[in-house]
Amino acid sequence: MKKLIILGLAIVLFVCCNQQEQRYFAESAQTKTLEAGIAAYESGDWDTWRSHFADTAKIYVNSKEAITLDKRVEDLAGMTSAFSSYGFDKDEAYIEMVIDKEDETWVYFWGQHEGTMKNGKELSIPVHLAVQFTDGKIIEEHIYFDGTEMNAAMAALSAPVEEEQPEN
Do the domain assignments include residue 134?
A: yes
The stretch 41-51 carries a mean pLDDT of 97
The domain total for the chain is 1
pLDDT band at 114 (very low <50, low <70, confident <90, very high): very high
Cβ–Cβ contacts within 10 Å for residue 32, how many?
13
Question: What CATH number is associated with residue 41?
Answer: 3.10.450.50
Residue 16 lies in a domain: no
Average pLDDT over residues 46-57: 97
24 falls in which pLDDT band (50, 70, 90)? confident
pLDDT for the residue numbered 166: 62
SS3 124: strand
The whole-number pLDDT of residue 168 equals 58
User: What share of the chain in percent tops pLDDT 90?
Assistant: 70
Q: State what percent of residues in the chain have pLDDT above 70.
A: 84
What pTM was computed for the model?
A: 0.80
Residue 41 lies in a domain: yes
Per the CB < 8 A criterion, the answer to whether 78 and 61 are in contact is no
Range of the domain at 70: 23-157
CA distances from 42 to 31, 84, 117 (A): 16, 12, 14
Residue 156, pLDDT > 90, answer: no
Is the residue at 10 inside a domain? no
- Per-residue pLDDT tens for 69-100? 999 999 999 999 999 999 999 998 999 999 99
Mean pLDDT value across the chain: 89
